[in-house]
Amino acid sequence: MISAIQFNAHVSAGVVITVAVLLFAIFSWLEWKRQARFFYARLIALLIAILSLTAFVLRPAYSTNSDSAGVIVLTPGYNKSSADSLKKIYQHYHVVATEQLDNINQLIAHKDQIRFVLGAGLPAYVLPDSGFNFLASPLPTGITQLQVPAKLIANRNASLGGVWHGKPGTITLIGPEGKIDSTSVRAGSFQLSFTPKQPGKFLYELEIDGKKELLPLEIHAPRPLDVLILQQYPSAEIRYLKNFLIDQGHRVVVRTQISKNNFRFEFGNRAPATLSRITTEALSDFDLLVLANESAALDEDTIKDALRNGLGVLWLPSENELAKPPLGFEFVKVNTDTAQVNFEDQTISLSAWPVNARKDFAIVKNKNRVLAGYKRSGAGKAGYQLLTETYPLIAKGQAKIYNHVWTKVVETLARISAQTTSIKITNTFPVYPDEPLNIEVLAANPEVYLDSTQLPLHEHAVIDDLWSTKAWPKEKGWHQLLSATDSVISNFFIPDFNSWTALRTANLQKATKEKAGGSLIFEADKLSYKTVSPLLFFVVFVLAIGFLWLAPKL
């Protein structure tokens, strides 16, 4: 091999050799002049001394038999015949089967020696960054992809989807209350919908062909909003909206104009306070401002200012305001004053203002007609609701539709409240016990605990306030990440080793393939060099010089 020896000189090899040749020339001339015995022997000794001195500086390294350090990793599901043929080709490679290891973490020590990975693949943290080959096994039967909504809120319909790999069958979602939804699946994607009833951390189950997988879901309770409603005269629509919000525990203030300087205030779920003037400061306490049959022309600047700072504004127009809408809304006249709204399988007809706004983001929409929409303004959203009379839905026993429509409108527009800390787990589900959990924290001075153990964090080199860390949860079950500074909590679930095998395999294969680069190159074996110990050269040098010193005395 050409590169069997290489030099790791700190000085350029040319300079060293030139100097050595010069030194040899000078010293051999000097030796010749000494007129002593053993001239040729002295010349050889001098050559040896000079060479060892040169080697001292050049630091030669020889290539070791690098092939013997390679590792072939056999993970579950590997193809036996490919493993055998690899073993035949690379007889000196070590073969490690992960199933025989106590813990997969043992591989970390030999991370860089991994040359081949066969079967299901390995987690990213035990893989070298590149330079190995991956022979993937076919995916086992099971759910190979799972999409669960990032945040589930109680009493709201949610759907979860995934990909099933296997024979056709029926997949059933089982909650604490029993069977919830089921669908028949062939190989491919599936969708299940459910309405969680209680907030909390629950273990649902996905059952297919009698095999159950625990599906951890955290259901959040709705967080109350602060809503300010301004109206010039009372209307049934607002009365029902107010009652709906108060019943759901939201903090509501309703201001109704009685005469020029007199107002009727109603405080729902909050203590009375004076609020005769609308200021930016007063509005910063609220998440949503509802302008009902009131364009608040006097306070428009204040409102726009608050809007930019994140306040949500919902405008419920009255007929005479439609021609000249506030807040820069633009409407186009249409012919019908009713609109169809779809909810689940139902289509209902509601009365609506005969206008349309095509440019805005839609909240409630029917084909091309925007029935409730909004436009962004700074950090806030200014929206409108063009459905005029939704309250009869409650009387008709269709309160569900009423709640759905208003939930959507109110929630979309309301201020997104700023959280000081966000904790994000970047791993994909499932992460088994004793595996590293990558955590990303966005906060100024975070202090994060995993189940009461504080985690060390290190800040991103370039981006301010972005911290990351690794944690190693030891036990299966629910765990909690807590930010001590503002009690922001993030819950996650560590499943048992034998669960979600198909999903796990799919994830591992994906991760492994990403690192392996996907192509198979047998010449990719790396050489490693071993530096020759300088002590050897030193001894040779001393011996050679010693002979030179001794020779004249003999």
Partner 1 sequence: MKQQLPYRLKQLQTSYILIKLIEVATLCLAIGLLTWALLGWINISDATRWITTILVATVSGITMAYFQRLFALDSNLLIRILNNNYPELEESVDLLVSDEAELNLVQRIQRSRIEKKFEQVYPQIKVPNNVKATSKAAAALVFASLMLMAFAPDVNQVEPGPLKKELEKLNAKVEETKLESILVTIAPPAYMAQPAYTANDLHMVVPEGSTVSWKISFNKPASAALIFSGRDSVALASDEVKTHTRKITDAGFYQLVWKDKGTWILSDYYKIEIVKDQPPKLDITNLEQFTKFEFVQPLKVEVKASLQDDFGLADASVIATVSKGSGESVKFREERLKFDSPSRISGKQVQAAVTLDLIKLGLEPGDELYFYVEANDIKVPISNYSRTETFFIAIQDTTQYSAVEDEGLGVDLMPEYFRSQRQIIIDTEKLLKEKKKITTQQFKFTSNELGYDQKVLRLRYGQFMGEEFEDQIGGGAIALEDEHDHETADETVKRFGHQHDTENEHNLVEQKKGGGNHNHNHSPKQEEDEDEDPLAAFAHQHDDGEQATFFVESVRAKLKAALTVMWDAELYLRLYEPEKSLPYQYTALKLLKEISNDSRIYVHRTGFDPPPLKEEKRLSGDLTEVRSYTGISKKPDQQDYPAIRQAQQVLEKLIVGNKNLTDKDKVVLTQAGNELAAAALEQPGKYLDGLSVLKKVVEGNVPETEWQSSIAILRKIFMQVAPRAQESPSEKTQAVHVLDQQFLKNLND
Residue 395 binds partner 1, judged by CB under 8 A: no
Give the alpha-carbon dihedral of 235, 237, 242, 248, to 10 degrees.
160
Taking CB under 8 A as the binding criterion, the range among 5-13, 293-301, 401-409, 505-513 that sits at the site for partner 1 is 401-409
- Peptide bond before residue 430 is cis, with ω within 30 degrees of 0: yes
* Residue number, 325 or 392, with CB nearest to partner 1: 392
Residue of 376, 364, 435, 369 whose CA lies nearest to 406: 364
With CB under 8 A as the contact rule, the residue among 74, 228, 414, 516 that binds partner 1 is 414
Using alpha carbons, list the distances in angstroms from residue 533 to 15, 56, 543: 22, 9, 17
Single residue of 8, 147, 422, 454 touching partner 1 by CB under 8 A: 422
**Which residue in 12, 130, 184, 262 binds partner 1 (CB under 8 A)?**
262
Classify burial at 477, counting beta carbons within 10 Å of its beta carbon; exposed 0-12, middle 13-18, buried 19 or more: middle
Q: Footprint of partner 1 on residues 20-79 (CB under 8 A)? A: none
Q: How far is the C-alpha of 241 from the C-alpha of 385, rounded, in Å? A: 12
Please state the closest distance from residue 274 (CB atom) to partner 1, in A.
9
**CA 469 – CA 441 distance, rounded (Å):** 8
Residue placing its CB nearer to partner 1 in the complex, 176 or 518: 176
Which three-class secondary structure state does DSSP give residue 125? helix
Q: Per-residue string for binding with partner 1, 435-464, x by CB under 8 A?
A: -------xx--------------------x
**CB neighbours (10 Å) of residue 406?**
22
- The reply on whether position 268 binds partner 1 by CB under 8 A is yes
Encoded amino acid at 132, one letter: F
- 346's enclosing H/E stretch is strand 346-351
Query: Do the beta carbons of residue 196 and residue 158 sit within 8 Å?
Result: yes
In the complex, least distance from residue 268 CB atom to partner 1, rounded to whole angstroms: 5
Distances in whole angstroms, Cα of residue 527 to Cα of each of 7, 73, 235: 14, 20, 83
Q: Stretches 185-193, 198-206, 519-527, 535-543: which one binds partner 1 (CB under 8 A)? A: 198-206
Q: Tell me the closest approach of the beta carbon of residue 162 to partner 1, in angstroms.
A: 22
Among 77, 161, 234, 378, binds partner 1 (CB under 8 A): 378
201 touching partner 1, by CB under 8 A: yes
Tokens of 457: 């964090």
The one-letter amino acid code at 320 reads N
Judged by CB, which is closer to partner 1: 45, or 246?
Answer: 246
| Residue 520 touching partner 1 (CB under 8 A) | no
Which residues ranging from 221 to 260 are in contact with partner 1 (CB under 8 A)? 221-225, 245-250, 258-259
524 φ/ψ angles, rounded to the nearest 5 degrees: -75, 0
Interface with partner 1 (CB under 8 A), residue from 39, 56, 267, 529: 267
Report the C-alpha gap between 162 and 503 in whole angstroms.
Answer: 10
CA distance 205 to 208: 10
Angle at 222 between CA 217 and CA 223, to 5 degrees: 125
Please report how close the Cβ of residue 353 comes to partner 1 at its closest, in angstroms. Answer: 13
Task: Please tell me the count of residues contacting partner 1 according to CB under 8 A.
Answer: 77
Quick one: which of 111, 476, 510, 513 contacts partner 1 (CB under 8 A)?
476
Decide whether 322 or 545 has the Cβ nearer to partner 1: 322
Nearer to partner 1, 36 or 214 (CB): 214
Question: Among residue numbers 286 through 305, which ones bind partner 1 (CB under 8 A)?
Answer: 287
| Residue 364: CB minimum distance to partner 1, A | 14
157-186 residues in contact with partner 1 (CB under 8 A) are 175-178
Task: Please answer whether residues 1 and 518 qualify as being in contact, where contact means their C-beta atoms are separated by less than 8 angstroms.
Answer: no
> Which amino acid is residue 507, in one-letter code?
N
Closest contact distance (angstroms) between CB of 154 and partner 1 is 7
Q: How far is the CB of 402 from partner 1 (least distance, A)?
A: 9
Residue 433 lies near partner 1 (rule: CB under 8 A)? no
Nearest residue to 465 (alpha-carbon basis) of 487, 442, 449, 484? 442
Report if residue 379 touches partner 1, rule: CB under 8 A.
Answer: yes
Chain residues 320-349 in contact with partner 1, contact rule CB under 8 A: 333, 335, 337
- In the bound complex, what is the minimum distance in angstroms from residue 157's beta carbon to partner 1? 8
